[in-house]
Amino acid sequence: MSSTFTETEERQELRKQVAKLAGKYGREYFTAKARAGEKTTDLWLEIGKNGYLGINIPEQYGGGGGGIGDIAAVCEELAAQGCPLLLMVVSPAICGTVITKYGTEEQKQRWLPGLCDGTSTMAFAITEPDAGTNTHNITTTARKDGDGWVLNGRKIWISGIDEADNVLVVARTEDAKTGKVKPVLFVVPTDAEGFEANAIPMEIVSPENQFQVFMDDVRLPADALVGDENGGLVQLFAGLNPERIMAASFSLGLARFALEKATEYAKERVVFDVPIGAHQAIQHPLAQSHIEIEMARLMTQKAAALYDAGDEMAAGAAANMAKYAAAEAACDVVDRAVQTHGGNGASQEYGMAGLLVATRVGRIAPVSREMILNFVAMHSLGLPKSY
Ligand SMILES: Cc1cc2nc3c(=O)[nH]c(=O)nc-3n(C[C@H](O)[C@H](O)[C@H](O)COP(=O)(O)OP(=O)(O)OC[C@H]3O[C@@H](n4cnc5c(N)ncnc54)[C@H](O)[C@@H]3O)c2cc1C
């Protein structure tokens, strides 16, 4: 019998199976692909073929009929094997959820099966150079043009454009002149005329790239619009709680990977006649990280359980806290893992330093730690809005 504080046997089995699959690939495969400028398409397709990629999507569209808790478990176990796939956050979790909730029957049938089996990937673009964290200030504008739309604007830091055939773009309608943005969502093909993307050189060791995107009179048919043009923020928010829960899981998988490597190393490396792990200066920081990771995992599971139970409000608070706690735990454990490895901590062979930026990004994206603290101060503590 499972208690409230453990995951179901089915979820635990899912974790085991995904870990086994990802373990066949492992960190060396992932970093070799990244350093060669190649993609991890074979891993992506294999998780798709096994039903893990679309596990949160309804069965009638090729998915597994599970919840965010399931896809988050998949994301975490992949990262825990050294294969963190950022596009899992974006394609099945954000785009898959928004289309499932707000797409028409025809749109669901057109896009979801490909997202599930991995043959089609969808990126997600909300961030803009001038708006930054303040997404209410986005200026990418959709103008009505006959039956269709014309899109103009710029986006930045958009992950995976080179692997995606479509992008779910957040824009505003042209007649939203009140200063209050009514966000509208469009599926934009990456090969559309007027759509251009340039890769941004990053210091992250990953096959997944980030892009600056330019949309210059991109013409879209009427059915590129997902949801109601007057639907407002609620349609966008449908993707944001899953995004935070997935980002937490991504960080936690990497945190577990670093902790496992550091612990193994601390048991084996002998100086001053005993393994370095016999010293409290080495073992206490690792024990502390184990506690921090477990606490953040619990919060992430709580957020996913609330979301899957349909309690969006409570899930929002929990997802923010989980994402914060997971990013902090991941940054701290990677720093400790580098220290535990001594000089090897900076080598490519041991791969710890390569995790520094990957985990550090967790404090910035998809929502920064400052914005989470702003949210918690205001919504959980009732303090004045500070931003
Ligand atoms: C690797 C990576 C992948 C990404 N992938 C995507 C993607 O696929 N799609 C997408 O749309 N976006 C993506 N992003 C963008 C990401 O969501 C943004 O970088 C993030 O939201 C922060 O925005 P910004 O970079 O403009 O920072 P800014 O808004 O310029 O903020 C800079 C700093 O100021 C702080 N700050 C700003 N305002 C306040 C305030 N009022 N109070 C306190 N602190 C404040 C911020 O917390 C931050 O620390 C990605 C980013 C990275 C790094």
pLDDT digits (tens, 9 = 90+) for 227-274: 998 887 888 888 999 999 999 999 999 999 999 999 999 999 999 999
Cα-to-centroid distance, 279 and ligand 1 (Å):
39
The residue with tokens 């890769």 is 199
Joined together, the tokens standing for residue 110 give 């057109």
- How far is Cα 218 from Cα 189, in angstroms, rounded to an integer? 10
Going by C-alpha positions, the residue among 18, 57, 12 that lies closest to residue 242 is 57
Query: What backbone phi and psi angles, to 5 degrees, belong to 145?
Result: -145, 95
Joined together, the tokens standing for residue 96 give 């898959």
Q: What confidence score (pLDDT) does residue 2 get?
A: 45
- pLDDT, one tens digit per residue, over 307-349 is 999 999 999 999 999 999 999 999 999 999 999 999 999 999 9
293-299 contacts at long range (C-beta below 8 A, 24 or more positions apart)? 293/252, 293/255, 293/256, 293/259, 293/329, 293/333, 295/325, 295/329, 296/248, 296/251, 296/252, 296/255, 296/322, 296/325, 296/326, 296/328, 296/329, 297/76, 297/252, 297/326, 298/5, 299/248, 299/325, 299/326
Q: What confidence score (pLDDT) does residue 268 get?
A: 98
Tell me which residues have their CB closer than 6 angstroms to ligand 1.
90, 124-127, 132-133, 157-159, 210, 361, 364-368, 370-371, 374, 387
The rounded mean pLDDT for the chain is 95
Q: Which residues contact 152 (CB under 8 A, 6 or more apart)?
A: 140, 141, 143, 215, 216, 217, 218
Pairing of strands 195-200, 270-271: unpaired
352-356 contacts at long range (C-beta below 8 A, 24 or more positions apart)? 352/258, 352/261, 352/262, 354/31, 354/205, 355/205, 355/254, 355/257, 355/258
SS3 34: helix
107 close to 99: Cβ distance less than 8 angstroms: yes
Q: What confidence score (pLDDT) does residue 231 get?
A: 82
| Atom number, ligand 1, closest to the C-alpha of residue 90 | 8
Q: Which of 90, 157, 190, 254, when mutated, tests ligand 1's pocket best, judged by the most ligand atoms within 8 Å of its CB?
A: 157
Cα 192–chain centre separation: 25
- Helix (H) / strand (E) containing 149: strand 148-159
Cα-to-centroid distance, 191 and ligand 1 (Å):
26
- How far is Cα 121 from Cα 54, in angstroms, rounded to an integer? 11
The residue with tokens 């796939």 is 85
Q: What confidence score (pLDDT) does residue 175 get?
A: 65
- How far is Cα 154 from Cα 138, in angstroms, rounded to an integer? 9
- Helix (H) / strand (E) containing 148: strand 148-159
- Is 22 exposed, middle or buried, given 0-12, 13-18 or 19+ CB atoms closer than 10 A? buried
Would the pTM count as exceeding 0.95?
yes
Pairing of strands 210-220, 274-275: unpaired
Going by C-alpha positions, the residue among 69, 136, 95 that lies closest to residue 318 is 69
Cα-to-centroid distance, 359 and ligand 1 (Å):
15
Cα-to-centroid distance, 156 and ligand 1 (Å):
10
pLDDT at 8 over 90: yes
SS3 97: helix
Q: 1 versus 161: which is more confidently predicted?
A: 161
Joined together, the tokens standing for residue 282 give 């080495």
Cα-to-centroid distance, 130 and ligand 1 (Å):
11
- pLDDT, one tens digit per residue, over 148-184 is 999 999 999 999 999 999 999 999 997 655 556 678 9
Based on DSSP, count helices (H) and strands (E) in the chain, helices before strands. Answer: 11, 10
